[in-house]
Amino acid sequence: MIEQPRHIKSIPAYKPGKSSVDGWDGPVHKLSSNENPYSPLPSVIEAMSHAVATMHRYPNMAAPELTSLLAQRYAVDEHEIAFGGGSVEVAAQLIRAFAGAGDEVMYAWRSFEAYPILVRGAGAEPVQVPLTPKLRHDLPAMLAAITPRTRVIFICTPNNPTGPAVGHDELRDFLTNVPERILVVIDEAYGHFQTDPSAARGIDLFREFVNVAVLHTFSKAYGLAGLRLGYAIAREHIQEGLRKVAMPFAVTDIAQAAGVASLAAEDELMERINVLVAERSRVEIDLAIQGWNVTPSQANFTWLELGDATDAVSAHLNSRGIIARPFSGEGIRVTIGDAAANDAVIAALADAPRPSA
């Protein structure tokens, strides 16, 4: 048997959201992966099908059309944008480029489950700073946890899986106090679902601080999770490092075409996002009326803090054909789906087991 090196052995396996429920033959609502319930728009499917005809060629690694559109949209230089096969791949590139053995990569916890995997995979040390009791980033504690070995800090806003966004002013103060030698990655995978005007705006902070990289994805708001397309906006010296470790040809021409078509269809996509945001409010209000401890979310999911009732509530949801994402002993993240899925969640939780007071 071939031995894994020590830093790989310690990596926890990434658990994708479940997609089936044993013993249930009604409709299954898969609300475990923060996917968009809407399928791609016809115009996006058409653009992808045109791109299929040239699949005997490698993709254009420069992604020129998509780069140019995004550069215009965010008023940034084209060299300040780099793509990857999903923003998780871009996050991995940033870590690989700027942290290695003996370096620390810090992030709040609980947060996106891929972070510890990516950090360990790069041979670096994860430093997890607990969220506040309101399940928000504890930025003063994160500042206090910086050491000479800190190389990268991730700020997930809105935070997966708990939902709150970091405030713009508090993040700005934080960045003012972080040494410029540390890369701060603002992961805005759920940024399109943000409605709080005081929430952090990564692009403005990118303009102000040279050590900021902003991560965006086409997976969530644009509904292209299966296609794998994400990107980072960062200064050229950061992009230079990122490009060195990037997987060549990771972003297909099909993904690039879908990205371009999605940006052209932004109004239609915004309508869908607005529906999901309205559904999020409906779910949060109904669950609060039922007496659940709901953390107000700025993303396309809801977090229920359940402590030791987590597994029982998850099993109860499964028994009604609903697959959410339980974090045993902590709580459950339920993705906001279409109205039928959300109705099913509200109905199922009405008679679910409750956490002990």
- Note the residues at the interface with ligand PLP (CB under 6 A): 34, 86-88, 112, 156, 160, 187, 189, 217, 219, 225, 230
Write the DSSP assignment of 222-258 as a string of letters: T--TTT--EEEEE-HHHHHHHHHHSPTT-S-HHHHHH
Nearer to ligand PLP by Cβ, of 189 and 283: the residue is 189
Nearer to ligand PLP by Cβ, of 59 and 191: the residue is 191
Nearer to ligand PLP by Cβ, of 83 and 174: the residue is 83
- The answer to whether 191 and 202 have CB atoms below 8 angstroms apart is yes
| Two structure tokens written together for 222 | 């644009």
Q: Which residues contact 30 (CB under 8 A, 6 or more apart)?
A: 17, 18, 19, 323
Rounded Cα gap, residues 280 and 338, in angstroms: 10
For the bound state, the minimum distance from the C-beta of residue 69 to ligand PLP, rounded and expressed in Å, comes to 18
| Two structure tokens written together for 125 | 């040390």
For the bound state, the minimum distance from the C-beta of residue 87 to ligand PLP, rounded and expressed in Å, comes to 3
Name the residue number minimizing CB distance to ligand PLP.
Answer: 86
Rounded Cα gap, residues 49 and 70, in angstroms: 22
Rounded Cα gap, residues 290 and 13, in angstroms: 35
Nearer to ligand PLP by Cβ, of 156 and 254: the residue is 156
Rg of the chain in Å (alpha carbons): 20
Nearer to ligand PLP by Cβ, of 224 and 341: the residue is 224
For the bound state, the minimum distance from the C-beta of residue 308 to ligand PLP, rounded and expressed in Å, comes to 25
Nearer to ligand PLP by Cβ, of 41 and 155: the residue is 155
For the bound state, the minimum distance from the C-beta of residue 219 to ligand PLP, rounded and expressed in Å, comes to 3
For the bound state, the minimum distance from the C-beta of residue 209 to ligand PLP, rounded and expressed in Å, comes to 20
Nearer to ligand PLP by Cβ, of 114 and 275: the residue is 114
For the bound state, the minimum distance from the C-beta of residue 42 to ligand PLP, rounded and expressed in Å, comes to 22
For the bound state, the minimum distance from the C-beta of residue 320 to ligand PLP, rounded and expressed in Å, comes to 24
CA nearest to 203, candidates 227, 231, 242: 231
Helix (H) or strand (E) holding 188: none
CA nearest to 252, candidates 54, 9, 44: 54
What is the side-by-side strand order in the sheet with 301-305? 294-295, 301-305, 331-335, 325-327
